[in-house]
A = this chain, B = another copy of it.
């Protein structure tokens, strides 16, 4: 089912929804974040909760009941914590929507609705998760309390895939330059703001720490000047993801500082790839994380090639019980 139909179906049965929960782990958690950011920015009455799945399981919020919708995300649909959260949420009466690549997964089986997304086909397909979660949030907001830029969001939802494929067609040389320059970095910091804040997080914990065993830290660039910037020195490696949208001024301020003190800085900027040629300016900030996620996937792939360390290589994951 499409996001619109799912929320219409829920609303027909439950006209009084109060809370939208986002539940996932690791990269799947970060892919829920643009929707959380969108809701926090635009909802006047609807509430949200954003949980790593086991925190939802161990410290379940009291408001998870018949008045809640839970959006649970797992690529393979097998993440045990997320499957448990979906099951728990349904026991408590919430409506559960699974977002997964695997229609026959335990996550899909423990949900009221499932959106099965692509992944392998191209870079754009890898963003179907994030885009559909965002659209679910847009539908919840629009159907339950109304939202002025609904048509713009629909246009963005439809056009963002072309924006991503266009961007990645240009990116290999700069991705290769990044890989050559950072391949021996002792640590790499990643930062961004707004809807893209958790793309910095997932690049740090998944693509660098998990898939390349490179030391890394990440933070919101609005926080940069309240602690982390004291680590800056000549040649300290930073990756900065710049948004098209209202929080761009924070990204720019961080860039100024990095340049001023000769940090080793790589910028990935949604504006460089013409996001606003594809997505209305009024809502571009919510699609910046999708464009940037597509682009930095190529950066990670080039890093893997230069370092002779495939992105699929693990020490523990998939190998051990833990």
Instruction: Report A313 CB to chain B, min CB distance, Å.
Output: 9
Q: Contacts A215-B231, A222-B52, A222-B54 given: A45-B62 contact, CB under 8 Å?
A: no
Q: Say yes or no: A209 contacts B227, CB within 8 Å.
A: yes
Q: Contacts A205-B227, A247-B59 given: A53-B222 contact, CB under 8 Å?
A: yes
Taking the complex as formed, is A84 at the interface, i.e. its CB lies under 8 A from any CB of chain B? no
Q: Say yes or no: B247 contacts A58, CB within 8 Å.
A: yes
Q: Say yes or no: A213 contacts B231, CB within 8 Å.
A: yes
Taking the complex as formed, is A27 at the interface, i.e. its CB lies under 8 A from any CB of chain B? yes
Question: Which of A27, A29, A231, A257 has the most C-beta atoms of chain B within 10 angstroms of its own C-beta?
Answer: A231
Q: Say yes or no: A210 contacts B232, CB within 8 Å.
A: no
A226 to B227, CA, bound (A): 26
Copies of this chain present: 2
A201 to B228, CA, bound (A): 11
Q: Say yes or no: B231 contacts A209, CB within 8 Å.
A: yes
Instruction: Report A206 CB to chain B, min CB distance, Å.
Output: 4
A43 to B68, CA, bound (A): 13
Q: Say yes or no: A230 contacts B317, CB within 8 Å.
A: yes
- Contacting A217 at CB < 8 Å: which of B194, B218, B249? B218
Q: Say yes or no: B227 contacts A194, CB within 8 Å.
A: no
Q: Contacts A45-B18, A250-B55 given: A217-B215 contact, CB under 8 Å?
A: yes
Instruction: Report A49 CB to chain B, min CB distance, Å.
Output: 5
- Contacting A250 at CB < 8 Å: which of B29, B42, B58, B250? B58
Taking the complex as formed, is A276 at the interface, i.e. its CB lies under 8 A from any CB of chain B? no
Instruction: Report A259 CB to chain B, min CB distance, Å.
Output: 12
Q: Contacts A27-B227, A61-B41, A187-B215 given: A222-B315 contact, CB under 8 Å?
A: no
- Please, could you name 9 A-B residue pairs with CB atoms under 8 Å apart, sorted by A? A26-B223, A26-B227, A29-B226, A47-B47, A205-B223, A205-B228, A210-B231, A229-B317, A230-B315
A-B interface, 7 closest residue pairs, ranked by CB to CB distance from nearest:
A26-B226, A217-B217, A205-B227, A52-B222, A210-B227, A25-B226, A210-B230
